[in-house]
């Protein structure tokens, strides 16, 4: 088990030490990948023996407000991990390099999302499409993190 943890630890260290973005956040059920995927600029994942911790901020283009996500859990012998935090529950498969996440008690500010998108010079139609994704996420705050 220790050799497995060392291998996973090395892999995660190389992933998390890479230049931003370190991960991509996907909103399930949104068909257009340009609308469904958001970059997570800084994701930190620490592994110590069979314990795992994750820390990141949800993309502001999705939520408008800063939502720092922190969770920790245990890695099983099958390389899967269950993590829990004050605002999230994760099921991660470290070999597939992804985590499924369910959030609770998030702060989502659609007016701040709109302001960020307008600052990026998106068309009104593009802004409305992205706001629809924010509304969907607000009603069902789930997603998938793909580690790079």
Cα 142 to Cα 18, 27, 134, 137: the distances in Å are 25, 7, 12, 7
What is the rounded average pLDDT for all residues in the chain?
Answer: 88
- Summary count for the chain: helices (H), strands (E): 5, 9
Q: What is the pTM of this model?
A: 0.83
Rounded Cα distance between 116 and 61, Å, is: 7
In this predicted structure, what is the pLDDT of residue 20? 40
Confidence of residue 5 (pLDDT cuts 50, 70, 90): very low
Exposure letters 120-144 (e unless 16+ CB within 10 A, then b): eeeeeeebebbeebbebbeeebebe
């Amino acid at each position: 088990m220790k050799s497995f943890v060392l291998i996973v630890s090395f892999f995660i260290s190389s992933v998390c030490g890479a230049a931003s973005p370190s991960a991509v956040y996907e909103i399930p059920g949104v068909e257009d990948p340009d609308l469904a995927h958001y970059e997570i600029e800084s994701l930190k994942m620490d592994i110590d023996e069979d314990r795992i911790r994750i820390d990141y901020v949800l993309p502001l283009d999705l939520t408008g407000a800063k939502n720092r996500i922190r969770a920790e859990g245990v890695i099983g012998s099958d390389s899967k991990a269950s993590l829990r935090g004050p605002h999230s529950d994760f099921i991660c498969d470290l070999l597939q390099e992804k985590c499924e996440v369910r959030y609770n008690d998030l702060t989502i500010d659609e007016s701040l999302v709109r302001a960020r998108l307008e600052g990026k010079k998106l068309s009104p139609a593009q802004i409305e499409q992205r706001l629809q994704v924010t509304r969907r996420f607000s009603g069902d705050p789930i997603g998938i993190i793909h580690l790079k």
